[in-house]
């Protein structure tokens, strides 16, 4: 059999080329566009009904301000530079606390996932800390660290570290043992297996864990800011409530929602770059 | 000197207080350049044997010698090819093939060059940057063969590598494998439960007994090469096939009787 013929046969064997995978069928594309239009209309209707409920006096704006009132409040706080500073403060706290948490949890999780001894050492401690809600750390952290930035990082850290560690350990355990066997068979040593096989093999699950825990980190910081802070979205909401400024309460909530969504989109972009091999599977 | 020597190799597993003898007093020697197929009923310890050669598990007694030295740990000189490919999904074809060389700390440029050579050998030039999930089963198995060979093993261990492929692809792969193995003069230990596959590929066919696995018959296959599908109609081929089939059938029957007794 000639080599050319062989290659021709092989090419026929290929189910899809990358270009084919990328191009979706026209019908599917149209359905997606249609669904997007429906989604946009849905949001518009939701906001319109909300506005109407307030305008026609069905619910008092003191309890539920209309979207336009929230918008006006937003413009005002924006012009004073307050809302931006709040978003920035909260985001910074989340990212720093969460970052420290991830920097420690990923290597420790990789080690605990691969070493039974390390797991035996840390598992009991982990299982005691894990059920504690981040909120329960607030009093102690204030006692130790006051109400400065460090205390905020600490709360985010305490709230995200244990769940993240559990996610990483689980991700490591899910790496196909056959692939690890294959790597060893090709001459990989212990450290090489960890770096070349277990880390990339666990990465997709680690990333989805990070995504879930990032949302947890946000609940931590909002709570911490409500209890003791002079800036941040949690503080803004709590402060507005004390002044019976319901539009500002809702503005703060919208602020959280928009910020978390934005970070989520950014995260997904980073994720796509970090695990390009998952592209064709989705 | 034989390349691989099984010396009274036995392996038993104890699970939930029950001891199962997978392999018992297995003796076999494989010479350099030989293509040996092990054929046997399912559950006769074929894969256990292969896993012991690769060093994934240790014999309970006896030893396996590679170039005269006992195998004590996972040894890259024994290149394993798994039925389920075991490719690294996060690595491209090129990344997979160069893996072993990277582990040896070969400089990037050099290992890339070598990897490309092996990719060409298995006919995958043009797919260097594809991920395994973008390839068909036959192509994946080509990658594993290139990956194993790039590491320059002394012996190729193949555990029913083509069992998951469709019949047409399997036939193409068998021919390709023979071409490659003869080109590179590689010794191969190949496990299969297909007598036809063994007869197309092997210089020697070793028939294993039912559990506990032992060498039941060791046949030198003296059929001309290259062998084609059309050869499957020759008298010599059919004689071999009959001999092997009768031998294997006895073992299958014994296995079934054993299972029935266990149920009763």
Domain ranges of chain A: 81-281
A34/A187 Cα distance (integer angstroms): 52
Confirm whether B91 is domain-assigned.
yes
Confirm whether B15 is domain-assigned.
no
The chain-wide mean pLDDT, for chain A, equals 86
- Cα–Cα distance list, A184 to A189, A191, B75, B84, B103 (Å): 7, 11, 8, 16, 10
Beta strand B18-30 pairing with B204-208: unpaired
Q: Is B227 left (phi over 0), alpha (psi -120 to 50) or beta?
A: beta
Which has the minimum average pLDDT: A11-20, A87-96, B231-240? A11-20
What was the pLDDT predicted at A5? 46
What was the pLDDT predicted at A252? 92
| CB within 8 Å: B86 and A182 | yes
B80/B63 Cα distance (integer angstroms): 19
Confirm whether B64 is domain-assigned.
no
3-state secondary structure of B64: strand
Asked if residue B149 has a cis previous peptide bond (ω within 30° of 0), the answer is no
Residue A20, both tokens: 């084919």
| CB within 8 Å: B134 and A182 | no
What was the pLDDT predicted at A22? 52
Confirm whether B20 is domain-assigned.
no
Q: Which of B134, B152, B170 lies at the terminal end of a domain, its last residue? A: B152
- Chain B residues whose CB is inside 8 A of the A277 CB are 89-91, 131-133
Select from A9, A15, A275 the Cβ nearest to the Cβ of B172: A9
- Chain A residues whose CB is inside 8 A of the B90 CB are 200-201, 203, 275, 277
- 8 Å CB contact between B75 and B54: yes
Q: Which of B152, B169, B189 lies at the terminal end of a domain, its last residue? A: B152
- pLDDT score of A36 more than 80: yes
- 8 Å CB contact between B189 and B198: no
Give how far the C-alpha of residue B252 lies from the chain's centroid of Cα atoms, to the nearest Å.
21
Same domain as B220, residue B137: no
Residue B160: which domain range?
A: 31-58+71-77+154-263
Closest by Cα among A232, A252, A257 to A241: A252
CATH architecture observed for domain A81-281 = Orthogonal Bundle (1.10)
Using the Cβ of B11 and the Cβ atoms of chain A, whether some distance falls under 8 Å is answered with no
Q: What is the pLDDT of residues B159-174, one digit of tens each?
A: 999 888 888 888 888 9
Radius of gyration of chain B (CA): 19
What was the pLDDT predicted at A6? 47
- pLDDT score of A16 more than 60: no
- Rounded to an integer, the average pLDDT of B223-248 is 86
- 8 Å CB contact between A86 and A235: yes
Q: Spell out the SS3 assignment of A105-127.
A: HHHHHHHHHHCHHHHHHHHHHHH
Residue B44, both tokens: 């006769």
- 8 Å CB contact between B154 and B66: yes
Burial class (CB in 10 A: 0-12, 13-18, 19+), A6: middle
- pLDDT score of B3 more than 60: yes
Closest by Cα among A140, A195, A151, A153 to A172: A195
Residue B65, both tokens: 């010698």
Which of A:27-56 have CB within 8 Å of B? Answer: none
Select from A13, A200, A277 the Cβ nearest to the Cβ of B133: A277
3-state secondary structure of B200: helix
- pLDDT score of A7 more than 70: no
- Rounded to an integer, the average pLDDT of A155-163 is 92
- Name the band, by pLDDT with cuts 50, 70 and 90, for residue A169: very high
- Rounded to an integer, the average pLDDT of B142-150 is 93
Q: Is B33 left (phi over 0), alpha (psi -120 to 50) or beta?
A: left
Same domain as B143, residue B173: no
- Name the band, by pLDDT with cuts 50, 70 and 90, for residue A12: very low
Closest by Cα among B189, B101, B190 to B149: B101
Q: Which of B100, B134, B152 lies at the terminal end of a domain, its last residue? A: B152
What was the pLDDT predicted at A23? 58
- 8 Å CB contact between B67 and B120: no
Q: What is the pLDDT of residues B70-108, one digit of tens each?
A: 998 998 999 999 888 999 999 999 999 999 999 999 999
DSSP state string for A185-254:
HTT--HHHHIIIIIHHHHHHHHHHHHHHHHHHHHHHHHHHHHHS-SSSHHHHHHHHHHTT-HHHHHHHHH
What values do phi and psi take at B165, rounded to 5? Answer: -95, 155
Residue A125, both tokens: 């401690």
List beta partners, residue B190: B37, B158
- Chain A residues whose CB is inside 8 A of the B172 CB are 6, 9
Confirm whether B231 is domain-assigned.
yes
Q: What is the pLDDT of residues A101-119, one digit of tens each?
A: 999 999 999 999 988 898 8
Return the higher-pLDDT residue of A229 and B238.
B238
- 8 Å CB contact between B167 and B134: no
| Residue A280 CB neighbour total at 10 angstroms | 15
Same domain as B167, residue B49: yes
Q: What is the pLDDT of residues B98-112, one digit of tens each?
A: 999 999 999 999 999
CATH number of the domain residue B244 falls in: 3.40.50.300
Same domain as B258, residue B158: yes
Residue A85, both tokens: 């500073």
Number of domains in chain B: 2
Assessment of whether the complete model's pTM goes beyond 0.95? no
Confirm whether B106 is domain-assigned.
yes
A159/B206 Cα distance (integer angstroms): 61
Same domain as B129, residue B117: yes
What was the pLDDT predicted at A129? 86
A278/A257 Cα distance (integer angstroms): 28
What was the pLDDT predicted at B21? 85
**Interface mutation vs chain B, best among A2, A18, A185, A194, most B CBs within 10 Å:** A185
Using the Cβ of A13 and the Cβ atoms of chain B, whether some distance falls under 8 Å is answered with yes
Confirm whether B257 is domain-assigned.
yes
3-state secondary structure of B130: coil
- Chain B residues whose CB is inside 8 A of the A276 CB are 131
List beta partners, residue B38: B191, B206
What was the pLDDT predicted at B251? 82
């Amino acid at each position: 059999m000639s080599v050319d013929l062989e290659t021709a046969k092989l090419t026929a064997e290929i189910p899809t080329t990358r270009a084919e995978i990328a191009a979706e069928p026209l019908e599917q594309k149209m359905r997606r566009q249609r669904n997007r239009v429906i989604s946009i209309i849905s949001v518009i209707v939701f906001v319109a009904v909300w506005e109407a409920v307030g305008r026609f006096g069905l619910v008092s704006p003191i309890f539920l301000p209309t979207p336009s009132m929230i918008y006006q409040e937003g413009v005002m706080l924006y012009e004073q530079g307050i809302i931006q500073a709040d978003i920035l403060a909260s985001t910074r706290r989340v990212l720093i606390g969460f970052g420290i948490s991830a920097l420690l949890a990923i290597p420790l999780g990789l080690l605990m996932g691969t070493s039974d001894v390390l797991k035996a050492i840390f598992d009991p401690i982990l299982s005691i800390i894990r059920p504690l809600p981040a909120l329960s750390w607030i009093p102690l952290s204030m006692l130790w660290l006051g109400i400065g930035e460090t205390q905020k990082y600490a709360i985010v850290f305490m709230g995200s570290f244990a769940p993240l560690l559990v996610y990483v350990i689980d991700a490591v355990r899910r790496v196909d043992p056959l692939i690890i066997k294959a790597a060893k068979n090709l001459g990989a040593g212990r450290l090489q297996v960890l770096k070349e096989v277990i880390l990339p093999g666990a990465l997709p699950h680690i990333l989805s864990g990070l995504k879930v825990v990032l949302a947890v980190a946000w609940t931590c910081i909002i709570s911490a800011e409500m209890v003791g802070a002079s800036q941040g979205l949690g503080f803004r909401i709590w402060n507005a409530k004390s002044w019976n400024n319901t539009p500002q309460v809702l503005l703060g909530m919208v602020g959280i929602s928009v910020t978390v969504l934005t970070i989520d989109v950014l995260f997904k972009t980073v994720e796509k770059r970090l695990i390009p091999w998952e592209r064709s599977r989705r | 000197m034989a390349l691989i020597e099984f010396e009274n190799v036995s392996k038993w597993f104890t699970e939930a207080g029950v001891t199962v003898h997978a392999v018992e007093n297995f003796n076999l020697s494989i010479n350099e350049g030989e293509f040996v197929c092990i054929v046997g009923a399912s559950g006769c310890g074929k894969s256990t044997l292969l896993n012991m050669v690769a060093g994934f598990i240790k014999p309970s007694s006896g030893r396996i010698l590679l170039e005269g030295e006992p195998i004590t740990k996972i040894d890259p000189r024994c290149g394993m090819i798994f039925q389920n490919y075991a490719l690294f999904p996060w690595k491209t074809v090129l990344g997979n093939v160069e893996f072993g060389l990277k582990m040896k700390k070969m400089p990037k440029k050099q290992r890339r060059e070598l990897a490309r050579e092996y990719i060409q050998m298995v006919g995958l030039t043009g797919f260097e940057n594809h991920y395994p999930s973008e390839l068909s089963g036959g192509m994946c198995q080509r990658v594993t063969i290139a990956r194993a060979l790039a590491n320059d093993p002394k012996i190729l261990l193949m555990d029913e590598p083509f069992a998951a492929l469709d019949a047409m692809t399997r036939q193409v792969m068998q021919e390709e494998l023979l071409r490659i193995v003869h080109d590179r003069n590689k010794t191969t230990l190949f496990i299969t439960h297909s007598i036809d596959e063994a007869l197309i590929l092997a210089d020697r066919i070793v028939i294993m007994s039912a559990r506990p696995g032992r060498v039941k018959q060791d046949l030198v296959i003296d059929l001309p090469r290259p062998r084609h599908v059309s050869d499957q109609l020759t008298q010599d081929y059919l004689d071999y096939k009959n001999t092997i089939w009768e031998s294997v059938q006895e073992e299958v029957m014994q296995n079934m009787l054993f299972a029935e007794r266990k149920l009763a």
